[in-house]
Structure 1
Amino acid sequence: MPHSIDEAFTALPLRALADAALARARSLGASHADFRLERVRSASWRLRDARPAGSSDSTDLGYAVRVVHEGAWGFAAGVDLTLDAAAKVASQAVAMARLSARVIKAAGPDAAPATPHGRWGYVELADEPVHADRTWVSSYETDPFDVPGEEKAGLLAEFSGRLLAADGVDHVDASLLTVRENKFYADTAGTVTTQQRVRLHPVLTAVSVDGAGGEFDSMRTLAPPVGRGWEYLTGTGWDWDAELAELPELLAEKMRAPSVEAGRYDLVVDPSNLWLTIHESVGHATELDRALGYEAAYAGTSFATFDQLGALRYGSELMNVTGDRTAEHGLATVGYDDEGVEAQSWDLVRDGTLVGYQLDRRIARLTGFERSNGCAFADSPAHVPVQRMANVSLLPDPGGLSTEDLIGGVERGIYVVGDRSWSIDMQRYNFQFTGQRFFRIENGRLAGQVRDVAYQASTTDFWGSLAAVGGPQTYVLGGAFNCGKAQPGQVAAVSHGCPSALFKGVTILNTTQEAGR
């Protein structure tokens, strides 16, 4: 049954505060103004060896006013839920825009050169249809905040106990992070939206220690963070019983595994690992604000520059990647973004060629796109919306092979499962990734685990080596809660779906040798 917006949120004076702020912004000459009131509740539980190690439960409540005045942004935020305070915050936003406009004008026309669609230094927004009185709630069955904390901690303890009872497991860390995000948005064009999103991230890590040899290693559950509710921990969307049952033996095998021989291998990459490679080498690289240089001071730029749109050969013709704000249970899934833009799905890479970017309204207008594709997001009411990543996903082959059949076609290779560490340059071009577990492939069969593995490539070489894409039966929506961007820094949750995939002739490093040990 679909959920309704939490009544405690809708009981707040949302419309009245918005009306007061927007009316003040109009009276002061703003050409655009938007009002955003948010309530974000986050709670976490941590256990060490099935015993409580910490918990938290906090709520962030406040609102923000953003304006365009004299071609410049202005922004201010507040927490006082009175009409006078909301109007004052709007006045502060306009005052900031006026100051910014003076700086832009003082820099002269050469500092803000004209483009066919506007000036770089001035703010104009792409048109967006008005969405009046819209509500949207993410897809979940049980709000995790309706489940007692004792029940959550108890289930984590029970899961931990199963792992601790197995031979070779010496320690277990368990954690659960839950978030419920309520957001009200209104702007001077007439768009008004009210939304509610729920998400959670459970993790269990088993640790094995060889007391005699001094070696130790760990293995983490593969269950991804999701836009679901408590049902995810009780069997909907993930088979926890099966994963917890197999983890101890996989960890024991990893402890006994030989170190990998460096060289070139064919790789079958599981979705539990490939999602992160997509995030770093495709997701960030196709954020158009980054490709234009707006993130250069902090997060870097992108090799996928705007002049290469429609021409850059990103990968093999099997590579089809979408940006998607509509995927069910996606962490970046919304009904409307923080600029009132309705959620969409669109192509980023089609048949191996770069054909699209992730956009907000300002970048869309500046670069000549007809409209934004809904990628504006702020992680709190105190922060200004910035262009953030959609659910960026590699599409499966409708008639593609199973993971087992992909492995069956490899003579000498490695099967990569689970994410771990990663490194990529500031242009999102040269990278290396490790994983949770690696299996040798010999003559089409798995031949035991190996250790100390990292795969290394440039983005276009790696995706150019894509030789087969698994079918829909292999597709999994992975992701993370902690994608960072912007100054001051903001954190966003994002999902990346992908099937298993085969890559030919990828460089494998031995991480122990690379470290000089």
Structure 2
Amino acid sequence: MPAAPHDLDQTFLALPLRALADAALARARALGAEHADFRLERVRSAMWRLRDARTSATSDTTDLGYAVRVVHNGAWGFAAGVDLTMDAAARVAGQAVAMAKLSAKVAEAAGTGTAAPSTSAEGRRWVTGGKVELADEPVHPDRTWVSSYEIDPFGVPDAEKTGLLAEWSARLLAAPGVAHVDAQLLAAQENKFYADTAGTSTTQQRIRLHPELTAVAVDPATGDFESMRTLAPPVGRGWEYLTGGYDWAGELDRMPEHLAEKLRAPSVEPGSYDLVIDPSNLWLTIHESIGHATELDRALGYEAAYAGTSFATFDQLGSLVYGSPIMQVTGDRTVEHGLATVGYDDEGVAAQSWDLIKDGILTGYQLDRRMAKLTGFPRSNGCAYADSPSHVPVQRMANVSLRPAPDGPSTEELIAGVERGIYLVGDRSWSIDMQRYNFQFTQQRAYLVRNGRLAGQLRDVAYQATTTDFWGSMVALGGPQTYVLGGAFNCGKAQPGQIAAVSHGCPSAVFEGVNVLNTTQEAGR
């Protein structure tokens, strides 16, 4: 059931939100801006870290400020400030307009119009020349939205947080073979007020948590060591996630045994295997090979500086065979407890859910208002986000998820259908090229599958493929009972760099004939 709704934080509402916005937007209009938006944010981020059940580090910081973004004479302008007075807000708006005027002159002198240069001939057709225009969006006046959670983690005493982490750490340390335990809890509360010259104004509040424990085992005879992390994903939930929203006791009880088995497991024989991939691993492959690849700014070549562009170029929309016909992938800014779930994005666009891949064919992209207008989409799907009041909004990832088979089997049933394969659990390391095409992933645990049964863990396993070959090899999907919403707190993009949290849901799935590497051999050891 959805969590009971919370009220917006009164200390945030007590700030002069509308007065500052009115002063900034009025000044931008007076200076001739075709569009202006104002965004005031208060982002509180905290961390508690323990080493072997003892506190090793804590932090609790708050970033408070506001930004004004304008379109003036077809060019972007942006400025930010921290002085919460009407005069200062108007002055920041003036700086944003001045920046737009300068940007227009620089672009004109460079002969590139008012957009960024592209890295490819196809992309250059879209992102050079012309004026900045934004796709239309209905006006959303006086809207509020609060994410779904029960207990605000910032209302829980620090001693209770570190005490629970210490208790869990001690439980692991008491198990035979566990030499060290690292525990960490990350928490964030994001309050945001947005207003623009069209008349939209939104006030939002989001909570998110990422608890994590890592156990280390050392073989005293050989000096070999292995580590293993909890599989619990980060979530858009509150403190209840640590006290009843996940089977922490069960996972902590099983970890030492899994870790001991991993330490003595044989090294994998490289070759072609059928893979059964658990959601705790597959979410990251979705993130890297689908999530980033279907960001339209990457597909156009507009974004190329941080982690590259995309093989899924715009001319292939509606025709690119991304994967097998059973592949259905959605972009979603609305799913409950999603890390990228919002009511409205940082351009005042209402949250939506839409198809990215349907029956294995590329059918959509993630858009902001600029990218939507540039390529003829009638509307943005709400993917603009800035991680700080001092940063300009950029196109960021929605919750990108692979749908389960409606009446699909359990994970155990998927494994039972594999004669020679490997079952992969938990994410670990990854590598992917600058076009999101050639990749390699490892895992927390890998199990040999022989004649439909698990036959013990393997070490040194990595799977390698190209994006379309990999997703084209998907032959079976688990049912809704296997579906898990995984994700990360630390997706990076843009320069200067920005960090965003994002979730990816998926079921267990089977992939035929995937190339498996032995990482120790690949490293020349």
Distance change in 2, residues 1:308/1:164 (3 Å): same
Where do 5+ consecutive residues of structure 2 fail to align?
A: 118-122
Q: What's the CA shift for 1:120?
A: 4.0
Q: What's the CA shift for 1:211?
A: 1.9
Which of the residues 322, 325, 328 maps onto 1:317? Answer: 325
SS at match of 2:496: coil
1:208 aligns with 2:217: yes
Which of the residues 99, 102, 111 maps onto 1:99? Answer: 102
Match of 1:377 in 2: 385
Between 1:114-123 and 1:408-417, the stretch displaced more is 114-123
Which of the residues 41, 49, 59 maps onto 1:38? Answer: 41
Match of 1:356 in 2: 364
Taking the aligned partners of 1:380 and 1:110, their CA distance within structure 2 comes to 28
| Cα contact 1:169–1:248 (8 A) shared by 2 | yes
Which of the residues 479, 484, 499 maps onto 1:491? Answer: 499
| Cα contact 1:119–1:366 (8 A) shared by 2 | no
Which of the residues 237, 251, 254 maps onto 2:262? Answer: 254
Q: Deviations over 1:15-36 (max 9, x none)?
A: 0000000000000000000000
Which of the residues 181, 196, 206 maps onto 2:190? Answer: 181
SS at match of 2:101: helix
1:400 aligns with 2:408: yes
Q: What's the CA shift for 1:106?
A: 2.6
Taking the aligned partners of 2:378 and 2:442, their CA distance within structure 1 comes to 40
Match of 1:146 in 2: 155
Distance change in 2, residues 1:92/1:161 (3 Å): same
The residue type paired with residue 61 of structure 1 is L
Match of 2:434 in 1: 426
Taking the aligned partners of 1:173 and 1:110, their CA distance within structure 2 comes to 52
Taking the aligned partners of 1:57 and 1:505, their CA distance within structure 2 comes to 48
Q: What's the CA shift for 1:297?
A: 2.5
The residue type paired with residue 31 of structure 1 is E
Q: What's the CA shift for 1:298?
A: 2.5
1:24 aligns with 2:32: no
The residue type paired with residue 162 of structure 1 is R
Taking the aligned partners of 1:142 and 1:192, their CA distance within structure 2 comes to 27
- When the two structures are superposed, what TM-score results if normalisation uses the length of structure 1? 0.98
Taking the aligned partners of 1:119 and 1:210, their CA distance within structure 2 comes to 59
Match of 2:451 in 1: 443
Q: What's the CA shift for 1:210?
A: 1.2
Q: What's the CA shift for 1:235?
A: 1.2
Taking the aligned partners of 1:122 and 1:242, their CA distance within structure 2 comes to 57
The residue type paired with residue 237 of structure 2 is R
SS at match of 2:427: coil
Q: Deviations over 1:176-202 (max 9, x none)?
A: 000000000000000000000000000
Taking the aligned partners of 2:274 and 2:131, their CA distance within structure 1 comes to 49
| Cα contact 2:114–2:128 (8 A) shared by 1 | no
1:87 aligns with 2:90: yes
The residue type paired with residue 490 of structure 2 is N
Match of 2:77 in 1: 74
Q: What's the CA shift for 1:104?
A: 2.4
Distance change in 2, residues 1:4/1:111 (3 Å): closer
The residue type paired with residue 269 of structure 1 is I
Percent identity between the two aligned chains:
79
- When the two structures are superposed, what TM-score results if normalisation uses the length of structure 2? 0.97
Taking the aligned partners of 2:145 and 2:410, their CA distance within structure 1 comes to 35
The residue type paired with residue 524 of structure 2 is G
Q: What's the CA shift for 1:476?
A: 0.2
The residue type paired with residue 67 of structure 2 is A
Which of the residues 2, 12, 21 maps onto 2:5? Answer: 2
SS at match of 2:504: strand
Distance change in 2, residues 1:415/1:117 (3 Å): closer
Taking the aligned partners of 2:113 and 2:229, their CA distance within structure 1 comes to 54
Q: What's the CA shift for 1:81?
A: 0.2
Q: What's the CA shift for 1:212?
A: 1.8
The residue type paired with residue 390 of structure 1 is A
Distance change in 2, residues 1:13/1:439 (3 Å): same
Q: What's the CA shift for 1:109?
A: 7.0
Match of 1:129 in 2: 138
Q: What's the CA shift for 1:448?
A: 0.3
Q: Deviations over 1:48-98 (max 9, x none)?
A: 000010000000000000000010000000000000000000000000000
Q: Deviations over 1:211-257 (max 9, x none)?
A: 22110010100000000000000011x11011001000000000110
Between 1:271-280 and 1:108-117, the stretch displaced more is 108-117
Match of 1:55 in 2: 58
SS at match of 1:139: coil
Q: What's the CA shift for 1:494?
A: 0.2
Taking the aligned partners of 1:355 and 1:109, their CA distance within structure 2 comes to 30
Matches within 5 A, 1:223-238: 223-236=232-245, 238=246
Matches within 5 A, 1:454-493: 454-493=462-501
